[in-house]
Amino acid sequence: MATCPKGHESGTADYCDVCGARMGGASASASPAPAPAAPAAPPATAPPAETKTCPVCGSAQSGRFCEEDGYDFLLAPPVGAPSAPVTPATAPPAPVPPAPATGVWQVAVRADSTYFEVVKAMGGEDAGSLAFPRFAPERRFRLSGEQMVIGRRSRSRGVDPDIDLVGPPEDPGVSHLHALLVAQPDGWAVVDLESANGTYLNDPSSDALDPNVPYPLKSGDTVYLGAWTALTVTTGAS
């Protein structure tokens, strides 16, 4: 005979046939399963180095000048909110006929060492990384139509300026869409197309031209842009 926890003799081995108590006493409550261990935290990694981007187009910096629009990271000229690139179709139009047929207008492009020194002086000691081209043959472009874009071509952006300054040698300070020459009743005018480094007329140490404003040109005037580029406009008999 088995004895239950309350002292009754029972003929059954599972539950007492007198009081119904479970034989052998109440079983210990099952211990709760251990909680799963928290996943190990991933090893701490150093934050990636900050990449400086062009405030005009957002491209990553790879040198002093932006590869897309020529922005000068060294001088860091202030810029407003980036605007959509100005194309010949959207540039400020001048509702005037082409240049008069009484003379042939053309522009001569050259590398100007005096202007280059002005640019270096504005940049301080770090501007020493700029190098004036050893050989820069003069190029000439005849002005025709109602307007001609000055800049550097870019296949990725679909830019193909009329006066293409892509080089060689290539001035990295020239924006892809830098300036515009617009026909006037008595000649031509120059318009800065919100370029990154500005456009200057006759005196490179003066203030840059206001963007999107036509400045009349006379024969012999010189337009300065980029790090060393000078464009002199002239007219003569046809």
Kindly report the CATH number assigned to the domain that includes residue 149.
2.60.200.20
Instruction: Count Cβ atoms below 10 Å from residue 9 Cβ, excluding itself.
Output: 11
* pLDDT for res 79: 64
Looking only at the bridges linking them, the beta strands covering 163-164 and 147-151 are: parallel
Tell the residue number behind the tokens 């910096």, with chain if given. 61
In a domain, 189, yes or no: yes
Q: How far is CA 73 from CA 134, 145, 154, in A?
A: 24, 35, 20
In a domain, 113, yes or no: yes
Q: How many domains, in total, are found in the chain?
A: 1
Q: How far is CA 229 from CA 25, 40, 118, 146, 169, in A?
A: 102, 60, 12, 23, 10
In a domain, 122, yes or no: yes
In a domain, 187, yes or no: yes
* pLDDT for res 99: 39
Whether 139 and 167 have beta carbons less than 8 Å apart is answered as no
* pLDDT for res 129: 75
Two tokens at 203? Answer: 């005196």
Kindly report the pTM of this predicted structure. 0.61
In a domain, 83, yes or no: no
Q: CA neighbours within 13 Å on the CB side: how many for 157?
A: 19
Query: Which domain, by its residues, includes 208?
Result: 104-236
* pLDDT for res 92: 53
In a domain, 173, yes or no: yes
Say how far apart CA 119 and CA 75 lie, in whole Å.
Answer: 9
Say how far apart CA 186 and CA 122 lie, in whole Å.
Answer: 35
In a domain, 214, yes or no: yes
The one-digit pLDDT tens for each residue of the chain (238 residues) are: 677 777 777 777 777 777 777 776 544 344 455 556 666 666 666 566 677 888 888 888 877 778 777 777 776 766 654 444 444 455 555 554 443 434 799 999 999 999 999 998 887 555 667 889 999 999 999 999 999 999 999 888 788 999 999 878 889 899 999 999 999 998 999 999 999 899 999 999 999 999 999 999 999 999 999 999 999 999 975 4
In a domain, 211, yes or no: yes
